[in-house]
Amino acid sequence: MKPTLLLLSQFPDSLNNRLREHFDCHHHTQLGENQTTALATSVRGIVATAESSVTRELIARLPALEIISVLGVGYDGIDLAAARENNICVTHTPGLSTEDIADFTMALLLCTARQVLSGDRFIRQGAWTASRHPMTPRVFGGRMGIVGLGRIGRAVALRAQAFGMSIAYTGRTPKADVSYRWCNDVQSLAASVDYLVICATGGPDTHGLISAAVLAELGSAGVLVNIARGSIVDEHALVEALRDRTILAAGLDVFCHEPQVPKALLALSNVVLTPHMASATNATVQAMMDLTFDNLTAHFAGEAVLTQVSDCCP
């Protein structure tokens, strides 16, 4: 019999069809409570995304669960402690989207700082015939602060250097193999840069890390860019900082309660909003789908998975 999988998100047809060839697949959103209960004892695998929530309660309902395969880099929505306690393997797809996310980070920074969308509206509204668009900050030669110098943070730093920018960073520990300036906390980092870019991982340790105090240190000429996790930024504090011009502008690809975006953010003209699309290129998504599938087939074939979350595979 094919192993039973519970799919927690909507996936492209190409992946759905491939999974159905090898597994008995059930979409969680299409199941009623009675159907979920009836299926629970046979579910051996979960397919999730970086935005999915796999709680201790859900894990407890699935006594046959062996593997959670995440299509994405992040896994902060998964209760890893519960997974470990139940000998459940957790896999993800790291590294494949690094270059695309770094590219998009710079695009978002440039769009935000140089007010590209404002310029577009300026022309469409016919304002150019009567006046000139306001001046914008210069990006080249600016000071970038990176919160989280992992794979993506390093790729962003490389691109920023091509713009003649100086780089400073903060994170769990300083990195011995880089020459960038280290700051031991995010508040002192924000106070010393023009552009603050969030590349950190999500989870309890970084929840609300970008607070009102941090935004105040970034200052009225500062720009915030977040391509990491919405939970890292205090959204209420950010709205206030943008509304009061405590900071100049922000570029956001992630939000606390996706796909819902606060109406207060939508009403602001000094923020650029994109729908968590930094990694959404054809090449990256295909590679992530392939790896998600390969992790599942390897596990059920009794082979080692390719990309496990540390300490989350028995």
Q: For residue 193, give its domain range.
A: 98-273
Q: Reduce the DSSP state of residue 266 to 3 states and report it.
A: helix
pLDDT at 29: 87
User: Is 223 in the same domain as 148?
Assistant: yes
User: Is 236 in the same domain as 258?
Assistant: yes
- What is the domain count for the chain? 2
Examine residue 110 and state whether it is found in any structural domain, yes or no. yes
Tokens of 141: 């030669």
Residues, the chain, total? 314
Is 121 an active-site residue? no
Examine residue 308 and state whether it is found in any structural domain, yes or no. no
pLDDT at 314: 59
Tokens of 34: 């009675």
User: Is 124 in the same domain as 254?
Assistant: yes
CATH number (domain holding residue 231): 3.40.50.720
User: Is 152 in the same domain as 194?
Assistant: yes
User: Is 156 in the same domain as 252?
Assistant: yes
The catalytic position among 229, 245, 257, 303 is 229
pLDDT at 50: 84
Long-range residue pairs from 265-271, CB within 8 A, at least 24 positions apart, any chain: 265/235, 265/238, 265/239, 268/239, 268/242, 268/243, 269/118, 270/242, 270/245, 271/112, 271/242
Long-range residue pairs from 164-173, CB within 8 A, at least 24 positions apart, any chain: 164/140, 165/139, 165/140, 165/141, 165/195, 166/142, 168/143, 168/144, 168/192, 168/193, 169/145, 170/145, 170/146, 171/147, 171/200
Each residue's pLDDT tens digit in the chain (314 positions)?
899 999 999 899 999 999 999 999 999 989 889 999 999 999 999 999 988 999 999 999 999 999 999 998 888 889 999 999 999 999 999 999 999 999 999 999 999 999 999 999 999 999 999 999 999 999 999 999 999 999 999 999 999 999 999 999 999 999 999 999 999 999 999 999 999 999 998 888 999 999 999 999 999 999 999 999 999 999 999 999 999 999 999 999 999 999 999 999 999 999 999 999 999 999 999 999 999 999 999 999 999 999 988 666 65
User: Is 172 in the same domain as 203?
Assistant: yes
User: Is 106 in the same domain as 90?
Assistant: no
Tokens of 45: 């695998």
pLDDT at 163: 98
User: Is 25 in the same domain as 105?
Assistant: no
User: Is 87 in the same domain as 123?
Assistant: no
User: Is 80 in the same domain as 36?
Assistant: yes
pLDDT at 203: 85
Is 66 an active-site residue? no
The catalytic position among 44, 92, 154, 276 is 276
Examine residue 158 and state whether it is found in any structural domain, yes or no. yes
Is 276 an active-site residue? yes
